[in-house]
Amino acid sequence: MFKRIAALLLSVSMVAGLAACSNTTTTTSTAPDGSNGDDATASDYKVAMITDYGDITDQSFNQTTYEACKAFCDANNIQFSYYKPNGDNTAERVAMVDAAVADGYNVIVMPGYAFGGTIVEASEQYPEVKFVALDVAAGDILEAGVPLQGEEYDYNPDNWNVKDYYYSDNVYCAVYQEELCGYMAGYAAVKLGYTHLGFLGGMAVPAVMRYGYGFVQGVDAAAAELGIGDSVTVEYVYGNQFNGDADITSYMDNWYQTLGVEVVFACGGGIYTSAAEAAAKVDGKVIGVDVDQAAIIDAYGAGMTVTSAMKGLAPTTQHILEEIILNDNWSSYAGQIETLGLVSGDDPEANYVQLPMESTQWDDNFTQDNYKDLVAAMFDGEITVSNDTTVEPEANATVITVNPYGNIK
């Protein structure tokens, strides 16, 4: 059911002409005859996507989701538009939901944890609309909502009753096991010969932390296997924003040029720009995130990208739109907050978390077959990865050194 990645990426690669964003609909796909398509069920639906704090050229969450939505809607003659909020806050995102609903859109796709508050506010207001939220976890919804009976919520998972915080009948949320692909990336980097690594996170939100903690565990495991734990170090910091700037680039300059960091896992939207700018000055390396970022990172220097820790935003979008629009199967997804990770031990490309087969810099020390063996061991439970974000980064290491620095800004 989930082996759609290759087909989707092929269709996505044909999507051209990304338009400049505004706070109104900017790109629309319609059926050739001006209707929403010939299929009776499909004709009931119009799909809208709302960006979070970025835009559809961010080479990350927004662009990947936009392209997946557009490719699906173009292929199936479904009307599609996207909306960009004027500001980075819940009120502006809810305003875009209002605009989309007013324009007749009844399937709304929202990528990113920042939509927790939007779900709380909009789901009850528009019970007839189907909301698809990518990377929005129970904690994001609970944090945005009002605790029951006015009691202070203590964030004890045993007490979570998330469906009391929003109208769940018309919402599907997908979250990912980022710690798994973070682990893969860290493990691969050490096997490929890197011993001084860095983790540059965007903001210390759960998804980014899971990436980072998995990365540390993967580095630690590979170092232990090779017997080089004493000589492997991970520098660990958050930029406290999801974009690069001069301050963060300067910080990365110090890592690469003074500390001797060889490769940085740049984990947080556009923050990769600062890592790549600094790496380019010393022939350093970068690990991408969320999608295969080799093309955009390598623009700063040929061969700069070691690999990317990817999660399946595009196949998730493709699958849920198929289920809603083509298969009339919303009832199987409504109210779910589904955790997506490994679904195959034999085919790494079928999984929702993975490394890119084409752009990873494989060598004799870590081959594609070695990677497949790693994935199989993770799928079978021989390798387990902690997703506990309540501990400090260094708690995920047993033989390596982890130097945590908090936030740059």
One domain, residues 167 and 186: no
Lowest mean pLDDT among 28-42, 80-94, 134-148, 199-213: 28-42
Helices (H) and strands (E) in the chain, counts: 12, 13
Distance CA 126, CA 346 (A): 42
One domain, residues 190 and 274: yes
Residue 149 pLDDT > 50: no
Share of the chain above pLDDT 70, in %: 86
Which of the two residues, 270 and 68, has the higher pLDDT score?
Answer: 68
Phi then psi for residue 383, to 5 deg, are -115, 125
Distance CA 188, CA 366 (A): 7
What mean pLDDT, rounded, does the chain reach?
88
Per the structure, the complete domain to which residue 209 belongs is given by: 178-310+352-407
345 occurs within a structural domain: no
Side-chain-side CA neighbours of residue 79 (13 Å): 16
Which of the two residues, 146 and 324, has the higher pLDDT score?
Answer: 324
Q: What is the pLDDT of residue 167?
A: 86
- Token pair recorded at residue 371: 């990677």
One domain, residues 55 and 107: yes
Q: Of 352, 370, 350, which is closest to residue 360 (Cα–Cα)? A: 370
Distance CA 86, CA 110 (A): 15
346 occurs within a structural domain: no
In which element (H, E) is residue 133 found?
A: strand 130-134
One domain, residues 143 and 219: no
Under 8 Å between Cβ of 277 and 255: no
One domain, residues 244 and 377: yes
Residue 227 pLDDT > 90: yes
**Edge-to-edge strand list for the sheet holding 171-176:** 79-83, 46-50, 107-111, 130-134, 171-176, 337-340
One domain, residues 266 and 215: yes
Q: What is the pLDDT of residue 4?
A: 38
244 occurs within a structural domain: yes
Q: What's the pTM?
A: 0.84
One domain, residues 267 and 320: no
Q: Of 352, 251, 266, which is closest to residue 307 (Cα–Cα)? A: 266
Residue 27 pLDDT > 50: no
The pLDDT-based confidence of 407 (bands split at 50, 70, 90) is very high
143 occurs within a structural domain: yes
Residue type, 266: A
324 occurs within a structural domain: yes
Q: What is the pLDDT of residue 53?
A: 79
Q: What is the pLDDT of residue 57?
A: 85
One domain, residues 192 and 160: no
230 occurs within a structural domain: yes
347 occurs within a structural domain: no
One domain, residues 183 and 249: yes
Residue 98 pLDDT > 70: yes
One domain, residues 147 and 195: no
Here the CATH number for the domain that contains residue 110 is 3.40.50.2300
252 occurs within a structural domain: yes
Q: Which residues contact 154 (CB under 8 A, 6 or more apart)?
A: none
pLDDT tens-digit profile of 344-369? 999 999 999 999 999 999 999 999 99
Report helix, strand and coil shares of the chain as percent, to nearest 5. 45, 20, 40
One domain, residues 105 and 243: no
One domain, residues 292 and 356: yes
Q: What is the pLDDT of residue 158?
A: 54
**Tally of domains in the chain:** 2
